[in-house]
Amino acid sequence: MNNDSSIHALQEVNLQCLTHIRDEIQSLFSRYGSDSFPETQTLKCLFWYLSSRNQAVSFLISHGYLWDSEIILRSFYEVAAKILFISFSEDNEKAVLIDEFWNGLGSINDRKRARKAAYAEQIFEAGSMSAEVFSALQDDRTFDLQAEGSKTQRKRIEQKWSFSEIIEQLDQKVSHGKPLEGIKSMLHMYGIASHLIHADQAAMDLMHDRATREHGEREILEAAHVARIMSDQVNITWFCADALRQNFKGEFIDNVKLRELLKEFAKLSDPFHANFSESQRDFYALRQAKANQDPIK
């Protein structure tokens, strides 16, 4: 398999998929969404953010910055989870969720930002522009610094809207009459991206592992890495679009074309994963043999 030409072909179909999904999302909002509903406005904001992260990821992988794209993907996973959380919630729950997102969490974040701004303000000369900026962030006439509820209640809202908790709640939801099986798999890649953001020991191990692999094996690994990132882009963006469709109880404009594009993308991306799996077969066979000889107690 010629990786360069195959990756280029995959990028082309990736772009076609994301473009078609984007058009379907816009069509759903124009046909079913009313801007007078806070729910619609909130989902529009979240989808705009999702699209922007997608563009950043595509730019980074096209220039070979795979680890940096993983860092942006963490934000992509976060906003996707919020879209799914709101879209799959019951109709009588949506108003509460929207209020928590903008007002409950908003006020909590305003308070945290004001406290940190006070520390930053101290290092600048009084009356300087920088000091004024940080002072403004502490102005309760502009920001809601009086969060309602007790500290325990605020912690509860923060926990409810954390990525891991949203995934736990989505794991109990149903789509097309079936459980959202596999949704917890997002926790793994989110965790990897978190290591990269925090520059911890696991991140350093990832860097070292990639850098010290034999050249041919590294090429196979990097091609599979690109394919996996693009797969996340396409599949999660489609999943969010379908959740929006179900939220509106609507239909896609051209579902047949969408399915065809998704099948073509899978057809082009699967060989990259298969090629990498084959390259690792001996390593994992040896690992399993050693595990059989010395089982974990």
**Dihedral pair phi/psi, residue 22, rounded to 5°:** -60, -45
Contacts of 227 (CB under 8 A, 6+ apart): 7, 10, 269, 272, 273
What's the pLDDT score for residue 295? 67
In whole angstroms, what is the distance from residue 70 CA to residue 60 CA? 9
Of 241, 237, 243, 247, the closest CA to residue 32 belongs to: 247
Which residues of the chain, if any, have pLDDT below 50?
Answer: none
What's the pLDDT score for residue 223? 95
Share of residues in the chain with pLDDT > 90 (%): 69
**pLDDT tens-digit profile of 130-177?**
888 988 888 887 877 776 667 788 889 899 999 999 999 999 887 777
Beta strands in the chain (DSSP E): 174-175, 178-179
With the C-alpha atoms ordered 87, 227, 268, 52, is the resulting torsion angle positive or negative?
positive
What's the pLDDT score for residue 110? 82
**Dihedral pair phi/psi, residue 162, rounded to 5°:** -70, 155
What's the pLDDT score for residue 214? 92
Parallel/antiparallel/unpaired status of strands 178-179 and 174-175: antiparallel
Q: Is residue 223 within 8 Å of residue 247, measured between CB atoms?
A: no
Q: Which two tokens stand for residue 250?
A: 């609507």
In whole angstroms, what is the distance from residue 279 CA to residue 282 CA? 7
What's the pLDDT score for residue 181? 76
Q: Is residue 230 within 8 Å of residue 54, measured between CB atoms?
A: no
Q: How far is CA 245 from the centre of its chain?
A: 19
Contacts of 207 (CB under 8 A, 6+ apart): 67
The amino acid at residue 56 is A
Q: How far is CA 56 from the centre of its chain?
A: 12
Q: Please give the helix or strand (H or E) that residue 175 lies within, else none.
A: strand 174-175
What does the CA dihedral 26, 8, 231, 47 come to, rounded to 10 degrees? -20
Residue ranges per structural domain of the chain: 1-88+173-280, 91-163
Cα separations (Å) of 188 from 34, 163, 192?
36, 12, 6
Q: Is residue 145 within 8 Å of residue 110, measured between CB atoms?
A: yes
Q: What count of other Cβ atoms lies within 10 Å of the Cβ of residue 72?
A: 22
